[in-house]
Amino acid sequence: MSDDLICVGSIGGAFGVKGDVRLKSFCAQPSDIADYSPLVTEDGRSFTLTLLGPVKNGYSARFSGVVTKEDADALSGEKLFARREQLPALPDDEYYHTDLEGLEVVDTGGVTLGHVKNVQNHGAGDLLEVHGPKLKTAVLLPFTLEAVPTVDLKAGRIITDPPHGLFE
């Protein structure tokens, strides 16, 4: 994917029989996803979005060119991207997940621990999924100021003071 595209949501499948979809927004204000229309899929298809209303865990929505339940079902699981210039500028201590993915993770002594593969959020805050050659399994590093005091996007690294025993 291009660096100028940011994942803002995903399609959960058809909602009803008239081509509407179930939409999950990854925006801080979930309804803001409509402001970034048209949205693009990973394979480059572009859709104009109209939110229809809230549903459990998201919204029902209508996409341009999607007119049947089969059309909507075919989009199930698709990630939706907006152009970076459409999105608001973030404060100094906030980051788009895509900007954190791939960053080197080092401890306060400068020892490389691994790289961020993914950013997860299961409801209690963001977790950085760190993979490295010395790690037997992925480590989920809490993305808090205490555990991650420094994010240096220009240098491509995160400095961490991880909870005791996390990387052992």
- Predicted confidence (pLDDT) per residue in 18-40, tens digit: 999 999 998 888 999 999 999 99
Which pLDDT does position 119 carry in this prediction? 92
Q: Is the separation of the CB atoms in 26 and 9 below 8 Å? A: yes
Q: In terms of CATH, what superfamily is 97-160?
A: PRC-barrel domain (2.30.30.240)
- Cis peptide bond prior to 149, omega within 30° of 0: no
The fold adopted by the segment(s) 5-85 is Elongation Factor Tu (Ef-tu); domain 3 (2.40.30)
Averaged pLDDT score across all residues of the chain: 92
pTM of the entire structure? 0.76
pLDDT higher than threshold 90 for residue 115: yes
pLDDT higher than threshold 80 for residue 2: no
Which long-range contacts does 112-116 make (Cβ < 8 Å, 24+ apart)? Answer: 113/139, 113/160, 113/162, 113/167, 114/139, 116/158
Where do the domains of the chain lie? 5-85, 97-160
